[in-house]
Amino acid sequence: RGVVFITRDHMGIIPLYWGPDPEGRLYIASEQKCLVDVCEIVEIFPPRMYYHGPPKMGQLKQWYFMDWVPQVYTSGEEEKVYDRIYDGMYKAVEKMILVTPLTASC
């Protein structure tokens, strides 16, 4: 009792915002508009992190560590990027399609 556990997805796809009210109570919401009238400060809850402990004294810790580095492209390499996206999408669709022979029945 009196302890909170808050976490966010590893890529930051699902939005999560948090902030304290004037008395120090912690508020959490998936939309900023829910917090702006209540909280003094509204901040984005960081991806790959969790918060655990009493609302005023909990700790923010990282729970997901990326073992890869995003590929960086420079200007003029758009075709390379397009090709990688196309190839990745093609392979993903190929995996999902069941390869079965077409049969006709009368």
Query: Token pair of 92, please?
Result: 């993903």
User: Is 60 exceeded by the pLDDT of residue 37?
Assistant: yes
Residue 101 has a pLDDT of 56
CA 105 to chain centre: 48
* Overall average pLDDT of the 5-19 stretch: 90
Spell 30-62 as b/e; 16+ CB within 10 A means b. eeeeebeeebeebeebebbbbbeeebeebeeee
Count CB-CB contacts under 10 A for residue 8: 21
Is the overall model pTM greater than 0.75, yes or no? no
DSSP 3-state percent helix, strand, coil across the chain (nearest 5): 20, 20, 60
Structure tokens at 19: 């902030």
